[in-house]
Amino acid sequence: MYPFERFSEHAKALLTITQAEAEKAGFNYIGTEHLLLATFGKPDFHSARILAALGVMEADVRSAIAKAIKRREGRVSGGVIPTSRVKRVIDIAFRLCGERGQSHVGTDHVLLALATEAEGIAAHVLEDLGATRKLIEAEAAKLTEPES
């Protein structure tokens, strides 16, 4: 798909956290909801800073996701795989990164891609909590330093 080295260090950490979120919840797949939860993974993620600036709290996101899907009990065996929608979000993140002339996909690109995709659970949760694509884009534009 895409070379892992094209992700910023923070985006790589976000992907690791995404998998852990899916496994912890007992799913054998990675959905957009797991990506969204991972955007809060570390306070210095651009995605976490953008969501904080928009007043979107992790607890509210977790609550909205819990209402949308049922948590599964038990451990996942055989690993977890990303859904086709998650693959589409990653494609969009790479496109957004390229459109901005940047070389590495950051957590801000992933967050914006979740809102841009517009159909997954994460997109609906973001919209319901007032984090529209336009607002996310405006906050991302305020970040002047590159994400590590």
| pLDDT category of residue 62 using cuts at 50, 70 and 90 | very high
Spatial contact of 111 and 53, defined as CB atoms under 8 Å apart: no
- Nearest 5°: phi and psi at 7? -95, 145
Per CATH, the architecture of 4-141 is what? Orthogonal Bundle (1.10)
Round to whole Å and give the CA distance between 1 and 45.
24
Residue range 33-51, pLDDT digits in tens:
999 999 999 999 999 999 9
Please compute the mean of the pLDDT values over residues 12-32 and round it to a whole number. Answer: 90
Taking residues 1-27, report their average pLDDT.
86
Q: Would the pTM count as exceeding 0.85? A: yes
* pLDDT above 90 coverage of the chain, percent: 65
Q: What are the domain boundaries of the chain?
A: 4-141
Q: What distance in Å separates the CA atoms of residue 96 and residue 104, rounded to the nearest whole number?
A: 10
Residue 100: its pLDDT value, please? 87
Strands 81-82 and 29-30: parallel
